[in-house]
Amino acid sequence: MTAINPSSAPSPRLPLWTKAAYGFADTGINVFVIFKGLLILAFMVQYAGIDPALAGWITSSVLVLDIITDPVMGWVSDRTGGRFGRRHPYIFSGAVLMVALMVLTFAVPAGLGPQATALWILLFFGLSSIAFTMVAIPYSSLAVEITDSPRERSTMTGWRMAAAGLGILLTGGAFPILVNPGGLGLSHPVAILVYAPIIIGTIWLACLATYRFRNTRPTPPVSLGQQVAAALRNRRFVVLVGVYGVQTIGIAIITAGIPFAAAELIITNGATGVLATVYVLGAFSTAFALFVLGSMLSQAVWVGLSAVFGKITTFVAGTLYYAVVLAGFFLVLPTTGMIEAGQTNLALITLFIFLIGSANGCYQQLPWAIMPDLVAWSAKREAFEVAGAFSGFWLLGQKVGNAIAPLFFTQILAAYGWIATQDGGASADQPDAAVAALRWSLTLVPAGLFAVSVPLYLWLDRRAKAAQNGRSTD
C-alpha cells in the first residue's frame, strides 16, 4: 500500500486495533527514554563513582549525537523502498539492537578505573542511542503516513502518550526496586534484560498492526538540504519545534533530578498509613510512580479539553498550569534545616508530585497532537515526501533540550560540591549548598522555562501563521 495522497479523499477511520497497537510501541520506546534521561546519569554518579560534571558531559555528548542522526534517519527512511516498506525494517531491527546495546552500556567490566568506565559508557550509550533513532524516527513518521485525518492522529497520539506513561512507570518506578540491594538486588545489565520482552514485544506489535499501511516505494531523490528548506518554509512547525525544545529542557531537568531529590529531599522517616508504602517501594520509585500516574490519568482530560477549547488554547493553559505547580513544589520541598528538624511534609510532597505529573500530561499530549497537523500543511504543498525528515526535525527540538538539560543540571550540582558515590548515594553526606541548589534547580528553573515559553509561543506562532497566509502582522 502506498502513502496517503493529501489531495485525495480523506482516509476512513482506522481500526481500533491499529491505533492501539501503534500507540503501545511507546511503552517499549519509553523504557529507553527513561534509560537515557534518568537511569544512565544516576548510574554514573551514584553507582559508577563518576564526577557529576563528567557524567553530564557524557550524557550531553551522546544526546548531541542524536541531534545529528535524527534528520539523517528520517531522510534515509524516506529513501528506502522494497517489499517490507520504508519504515518497518528499521523499527523491527532497531528494537533488538537497542536492547543489546543498553545491556552493554551497564555491563562495565570489573576493575576499570573512572576514566575507562566513562569511555565504556560513552561508547555503548552512544551506539544504543543510534539504535533508538532507528526505531523512533520511522515510527513517528507512520502517523502521517497511515492517515490524513487530524482526529485520527489525535486519537493515535492519545494511545501513544498513555502507553508512554506505562513505559515510564514500569521503568522509572520499578527499575530501582530491581537493582536496589534492599529489593531484588539485580545487576543493572540483568535488570535491563527484564525489560527486553516489553521493549521488543510492544515495538514489534506496532510493526504487525501497521504493516498493511506500509509504503513500499522510496521517494524520489531529494537532498537533505531540500528537506531542511521545506521544514523552514513551514514556519509554524519551526516555532513549535523551538518552543517544545525549551520546554523539554525543563522536563529533562526534572527527570534527571528525581533520583537525587529522592535521596536528599523526599525524607520518609515517620511515614504511616498509606504513606508507609514509601518504605516498601523507596522514595525514588514512589516519587516516579506518582509522577507517571498523574501523567497517565490526565491524558484523557487533556484530549477532552483540546476537543472543546482547541489544541493550542489547551496547550497554553496546560503550560501555565505546569509553571504554577512547579513553583508550588519549590515551597513544599524541605530545606536542609527543615529536614534536620523533622519538618518534612511528605503528604504535600506526594500531592505535588502527582500534580506535576498531571501537568506533564499536557506536555506529552498537546505538542505531539499539534505537530502532525502542521506537517500535513507541508505534505500538501511540497513536491516530495516530507514525513520522515519532519519527524527527525521534530525530535530535534526534543533532543536539543535533552542534551542541554543534564549538562546544565550536573554542572550546578558539581559547582555546589555534590559528592559522587558507588553505593547508590548512601555513603555521602552532601553539602547543604548542594542540597539547596538541587531544590531550586529542580523546580524554579523548569517553572521559569515554562512560563517564558507561553508568550514566546503565542507571539511567534501568530507571526508564523500570518506569514504562511501571506498577511502582515504589523
Average pLDDT of the residues in 170-179: 81
- Over 90: is that where the pLDDT of 10 sits? no
Q: Measured between alpha carbons, how far is 31 from 103 in angstroms, rounded to an integer? A: 13
In degrees and rounded to multiples of 5, residue 437 shows phi and psi of -65, -40
- Over 60: is that where the pLDDT of 157 sits? yes
Taking each helix axis from N to C terminus, what angle separates 114-146 and 188-210, rounded to the nearest 10 degrees? 20
CB 164 within 8 Å of CB 140: no
Convert the pLDDT of each residue in 376-428 to its tens digit. 888 777 767 676 677 777 877 788 888 888 888 988 988 888 887 765 555 56
Rg (CA), the chain: 22
Convert the pLDDT of each residue in 128-153 to its tens digit. 999 999 998 888 877 777 777 777 77
- Over 70: is that where the pLDDT of 455 sits? yes
3-class state of residue 78 by DSSP? helix
Among 271, 415, 427, 293, residue whose Cα is nearest residue 354: 293
CB 289 within 8 Å of CB 166: no
Q: Show me where the domains of the chain are located.
A: 17-215+223-468
Among 207, 194, 47, 69, residue whose Cα is nearest residue 129: 69
How does residue 214 score in pLDDT terms, banded at 50, 70 and 90? low
| Angle, alpha carbons 442-448-449 (nearest 5°) | 90
- Over 70: is that where the pLDDT of 217 sits? no
Cβ neighbours for 343, distance < 8 A, ≥ 6 positions apart: 334
How does residue 471 score in pLDDT terms, banded at 50, 70 and 90? low
Mean pLDDT of the chain: 82
How does residue 276 score in pLDDT terms, banded at 50, 70 and 90? very low
Cβ neighbours for 125, distance < 8 A, ≥ 6 positions apart: 36, 40, 58, 59, 62, 105
- pLDDT of res. 5: 42
- pLDDT of res. 11: 57
Report which DSSP code applies to 211: G
Scan for cell 564526577, then name that residue. Answer: 51
**Top-confidence residue, 209 or 148:** 209
Q: Measured between alpha carbons, how far is 332 from 194 in angstroms, rounded to an integer? A: 36
CA distances from 84 to 81, 152, 211, 299 (A): 8, 24, 8, 33
Among 307, 312, 297, residue whose Cα is nearest residue 371: 312
* Fold designation for 17-215+223-468: Growth Hormone; Chain: A; (1.20.1250)
**Top-confidence residue, 161 or 281:** 161
Q: Measured between alpha carbons, how far is 268 from 140 in angstroms, rounded to an integer? A: 40
- pLDDT of res. 250: 93
CB 408 within 8 Å of CB 253: yes
How does residue 125 score in pLDDT terms, banded at 50, 70 and 90? very high
Report which DSSP code applies to 351: H
Total residue length of the chain: 474
- pLDDT of res. 426: 55
CB 327 within 8 Å of CB 469: no
How does residue 341 score in pLDDT terms, banded at 50, 70 and 90? confident
pTM over 0.85: no
- pLDDT of res. 424: 59
Q: Measured between alpha carbons, how far is 359 from 441 in angstroms, rounded to an integer? A: 18
- Over 50: is that where the pLDDT of 9 sits? no
What sections of 265-345 are H helices per DSSP? 277-281, 283-309, 311-332, 336-340
Scan for cell 519532519, then name that residue. Answer: 390
- pLDDT of res. 4: 40
Among 294, 318, 298, 149, residue whose Cα is nearest residue 310: 318
- Over 70: is that where the pLDDT of 47 sits? yes
- Over 90: is that where the pLDDT of 447 sits? yes
- Over 50: is that where the pLDDT of 272 sits? no
- Over 90: is that where the pLDDT of 359 sits? yes
- pLDDT of res. 280: 41
- Over 50: is that where the pLDDT of 70 sits? yes
Percent of the chain's residues with pLDDT above 90:
28
Scan for cell 503550560, then name that residue. Answer: 319
Max CA-CA distance within the chain? 69
How does residue 79 score in pLDDT terms, banded at 50, 70 and 90? confident
